[in-house]
Amino acid sequence: MFCSICGERNITDAIKSKDFNRGIDNNAFSYYRCLCCHSYFLYPTPHNISFYYHGAYPAYKHTSNKSNQVDLESDKLRLIKKYKKRGKLIEVGPAAGAFMRVASEADFKVTGIEMDESCCKYISQSMGLNVVNSSSPARELRLQEDVDVCVAFHVIEHLECLPEFLEAASSSLSRKGILVLSSPNPESLSFRVFKKYWVHLDAPRHLSLVSIVALDSLMGRYGMVRIGLHQNDRVGCLISAAGWKDSLVNICRGTKPPFRWIARLGPVLSFLMLPFDRISGLGGSYTAIYSFKSSQKDLVGQ
């Protein structure tokens, strides 16, 4: 067996978990840790992995133009506009298209690549935006060129072959293009505490937890370097908070009082742990921005 992220064989058995988040079945899933790149990966991948996305998977909910969600998507866009203010934008895994809508209204020329057919219909028919229905984002990205911004918010942890995706994403970019990737942070404090119950492990839908060290190394293969790392933005703080309060719910689920009532302390716990989440590298997720080495000096204000 070898690491699905970096390819090394120096791995160890790390975690056995279940689908605590959705409880679709009671199967156990094994995660291994790579001692070289410090990432975690699921092995083996369930042959029926699509089964675990059926039903009311949260990301696929079609929501109205609610102000709170718009604010969160606008925060993501503000982060991106620090590096690129306009241009051709591809979003991989847009789900119901909330970010695509906000980016389009900010004069980005947007296209989505989404595997869920109902989400694609919603984006196309209700929003009037361009979206491709595909379960192979790498293949679709290879058909793109001169992309100014390629974003994948909490997508890479779902991919079976991350190196293939990153190669395709980098090849789609223009010389001054940027790649924006966000993912759960396997170095986070909440993961160290909750382990198999950690809400962002999300077995078995999350096939890997990719360390920032591993991601930097992979991007280096394609001539890209990290120019930004964000954990304490508004979205990042919400994800970090969920790492505490929702993981506590996972532990208490199925227990009897008084233990079940402990879950109600989740919001208090997340508030108390906020200062620790803000320490560099300990937050529940990260957003990393990459550009080609030759273009770093030219990015701001593009």
- Tens of pLDDT, residue by residue over 214-239, are 999 999 999 999 999 999 999 999 99
pTM: 0.92
What's the token pair of residue 80? 């991106």
**Residue 298 confidence (pLDDT):** 58
* H or E stretch at 245: helix 234-252
Q: Please tell me what DSSP assigns to residue 223.
A: T
The angle, 0 to 180 degrees and rounded to 10, between the axes of the packed helices 67-81 and 234-252 is: 130
**Residue 253 confidence (pLDDT):** 87
Does residue 87 register a pLDDT over 60?
A: yes
Does residue 73 register a pLDDT over 60?
A: yes
Among residues 241, 246, 240, 242, the alpha carbon closest in space to that of 263 is found at 246
**Residue 141 confidence (pLDDT):** 98
In this predicted model, what pLDDT tens digit does every residue of 181-211 receive, in sequence order?
A: 999 999 999 999 999 999 999 999 999 999 9
CATH number (3.40.50.150, 3.40.50.2300, 3.40.710.10, 3.40.1190.20) of 11-292 reads 3.40.50.150
Contacts of 291 by beta carbon, 8 Å cutoff, 6+ apart: 83, 176, 177, 178, 179, 224, 225, 227, 299
* pLDDT category of residue 254 using cuts at 50, 70 and 90: confident
Does residue 138 register a pLDDT over 90?
A: yes
**Residue 57 confidence (pLDDT):** 57
The region that residue 235 occupies, defined by phi over 0 for left and psi between -120 and 50 for alpha, beta otherwise, is: alpha
**Residue 69 confidence (pLDDT):** 82
* pLDDT category of residue 258 using cuts at 50, 70 and 90: confident
Phi, psi of 100 (to 5 degrees): -55, -40
**Residue 65 confidence (pLDDT):** 56
pLDDT, mean over the chain: 93
* pLDDT category of residue 62 using cuts at 50, 70 and 90: low
CA distances (Å), 256 to each of 41, 63, 269, in order?
A: 33, 34, 20
Does residue 288 register a pLDDT over 80?
A: yes
| Cβ atoms of 24 and 51 closer than 8 Å | yes
**Residue 293 confidence (pLDDT):** 86
* pLDDT category of residue 275 using cuts at 50, 70 and 90: very high
**Residue 224 confidence (pLDDT):** 97
